[in-house]
Amino acid sequence: MISTFTKIGLALGASGRTLSSTEETSDPTCWLKAYGRGAGEMPLDWVCPDGLEKDGLLCYESCRSGFVNHGGVCSQICPSGFRDDGLYCAKQGSYIKWFGGCAAGFKKTAGVCNRICPSGMRDIGVSCEKADSYIVHP
């Protein structure tokens, strides 16, 4: 199926005629005299109303204490020693130790000492899955 725009393009091409956006025409069809206005500028100094917080280009309800907003999803703040990856807390500070035990707060798996996930978080290997999150609306 050929689109309307393709049909118009074919018709104009077959007649050897092209139209510019500012060209006067005696064509009986309704041609919009369009012009470019540029991309404009994004205001960088806008602030959200009270009770809302800015994340990207939108204002969201503020998250409860102990939570951080990631694009409209409030999730737990990761504890020290973990990198916040949104819905996961990436384990940091892993080290290799073939013999003996690991330091406090670490456990050994195949010769590598990895951080132990905080209580309530599920261990998924290199990260801990956050136990609690909820959606806030813009």
- The whole-chain average pLDDT of the chain stands at 80
In a domain, 44, yes or no: no
What's the pLDDT at 23? 52
Q: Does residue 23 or residue 90 have the better pLDDT?
A: 90
Q: What CA–CA distances, in Å, run from 88 to 58, 82, 137? A: 23, 9, 21
Average pLDDT of span 122-134: 92
Number of domains in the chain: 1
Q: Which domain holds residue 85?
A: 52-135
Angle 133-137-138 (CA atoms, 0-180°, nearest 5)? 135
Report CA Rg, the chain: 29
In a domain, 19, yes or no: no
In a domain, 2, yes or no: no
Pairing of strands 127-129, 88-91: antiparallel
Reply yes or no on whether the pLDDT at 65 is more than 60.
yes
For 92, residues 6+ apart whose C-beta sits below 8 A from its C-beta are: 81, 82, 83, 115
CA nearest 119: which of 109, 111, 128, 107? 128
- Model pLDDT for residues 76-126, shown as the tens digit of each residue: 999 999 999 989 999 999 999 989 999 999 999 889 999 999 998 999 989
- pTM, entire model: 0.59
Pairing of strands 82-84, 52-55: unpaired
In a domain, 114, yes or no: yes
Per DSSP, the chain holds a count of helices (H) and strands (E) of 1, 12
In a domain, 69, yes or no: yes
What letters, b where the CB count within 10 A reaches 16 and e where it falls short, cover 111-129? Answer: eebbbbbbeebebeeebbe
